[in-house]
Amino acid sequence: MRCLVTGVAGFVGSTLAERLVSLGHDVLGVDCFTDYYARSNKEENLAALRAGPRFGFEQLDLATADLVPIVSGADAVFHQAAQAGVRASWGKTFETYTSCNVLATQRLLEAAKNAGTVERFVYASSSSVYGDTTDLPMRETSRPRPFSPYGVTKLAAEHLAELYRENFGVPTVSLRYFTVYGPRQRPDMGFHRFIARLLRGEPLPVYGDGEQTRDFTFIEDIVEANLQSLNEGASGVYNIGGGSRVTLNDVLVLLAELTGQKMEIARGDKQAGDVRHTAADTTRAETELGYKPKVGLREGLARQVEWMKAHPQAWG
């Protein structure tokens, strides 16, 4: 199978591309190397892929480039590219989010429609579309109420995927990721920051009382969900969670144990856009995709800690 992976230099994109190549697929990866975090981290993510014969790479911006050449001939599109970050999406940077998350997705969908070869278009969405709801667990039928500009752009792109499926027959699947973690996690993300600070002996910044909960999902389970989205009959929106809903305070205790470091907390005020709780109902993904998370939180965090110890240059 010929696969296009956008955002291939990132956390999920590079891990997914490696898995696709290992399964014998040919992968064309694209990335524009936004300055959200260090390019050196992204180049390191690509190193093993670049060394293999089944991987090709093009540096381009999905919001401006001619996308026909990269989509033509692709059997599957895995659209992982996005401008990430809830807190950074407020204010003057919002234009970047609309360009990277909405416009880029529409242009890629349009190219897939015109190509006529795409058998599956998988869009990486986010649990952020649900917002700060008290209706838990979150279900695909729940009303989306984004609580941040980032969530608004992810939901808008989801709607575009649905419109292209219903009006033009583009076979789209949207996967709502719940707090992804593991090796190669972005330097701005919580677990990465906490582990790096613990290993340096620095205080851990906690916004609010620490009793907020998240449904944490290990990267390998996210990759598996993408592969399962190729199954016949997959269509529409699916929650992809890890089944590890834990308070932040409990996570920090576990990280201190896994790193063998003493924990010092530096508390701050709750940040705009941060939701109180997330919890995924994955029944639909289990029934229609065969999805079932396999990596528990302790094992997953232990693997991320070991990866970070081996890659201090990625700490940010």
Q: Domains of the chain by range and CATH? A: 2-180+216-243+274-295 (3.40.50.720)
Residues 49-79 as b or e (16 or more Cβ within 10 Å = b): beeeebbebeeeebbebebeebbeebebbbb
* Relative orientation angle of helices 248-259 and 297-310, to the nearest 10 degrees: 50
What are the tokens at 225? Answer: 């969900």
**HEC states along the chain?**
CEEEEECCCCHHHHHHHHHHHHCCCEEEEEECCCCCCCHHHHHHHHHHHHCCCCEEEEECCCCCCCCHHHHCCCCEEEECCCCCCCHHHCHHHHHHHHHHHHHHHHHHHHHHHHHCCCCEEEEEEEHHHHCCCCCCCECCCCCCCCCCHHHHHHHHHHHHHHHHHHHHCCCEEEEEECCEECCCCCCCCHHHHHHHHHHHCCCEEEECCCCCEEEEEEHHHHHHHHHHCCCCCCCEEEEECCCEEEEHHHHHHHHHHHHCCCCCEEEECCCCCCCCECCECCHHHHHHCCCCCCCCHHHHHHHHHHHHHHCHHHCC
Specify whether the backbone of 131 is left (phi greater than 0), alpha (psi in -120 to 50) or beta. left
Q: Name the band, by pLDDT with cuts 50, 70 and 90, for residue 314.
A: confident
**Of all residues in the chain, what percent carry a pLDDT higher than 70?**
100
CB atoms within 10 A of CB 268: 9
pLDDT score for 261: 96
pLDDT score for 278: 95
This prediction's pTM: 0.96
Mean pLDDT of 109-120: 97
pLDDT for residue 275 is more than 90: no
| Cα separation, 59 vs 126, whole angstroms | 25
pLDDT tens sequence across 15-31: 999 999 999 999 999 99
Mean pLDDT of 186-209: 95
Exactly one of 36, 37, 130, 150 is catalytic; name it. 150
| Cα separation, 217 vs 244, whole angstroms | 7
pLDDT for residue 10 is more than 80: yes
Tell me, yes or no, if 123 is annotated catalytic: no
**Of all residues in the chain, what percent carry a pLDDT higher than 90?**
88
pLDDT score for 64: 98
Q: What is the dihedral of CA 281, 126, 46, 29, to 10 degrees?
A: 110
pLDDT score for 103: 98
pLDDT tens sequence across 137-148: 999 999 999 999
Mean pLDDT of 230-245: 94
Candidates 126, 116, 107; CA nearest to 30 is 107
CB 222 within 8 A of CB 184: no
pLDDT for residue 88 is more than 90: no
pLDDT score for 274: 82
pLDDT score for 269: 86
Mean pLDDT of 204-231: 96
Mean pLDDT of the chain: 96
pLDDT score for 315: 84
Mean pLDDT of 171-200: 97
Q: Name the band, by pLDDT with cuts 50, 70 and 90, for residue 271.
A: confident
pLDDT for residue 237 is more than 80: yes
pLDDT for residue 116 is more than 80: yes
pLDDT for residue 1 is more than 80: yes
pLDDT score for 86: 86
pLDDT tens sequence across 58-76: 999 999 999 999 999 999 9
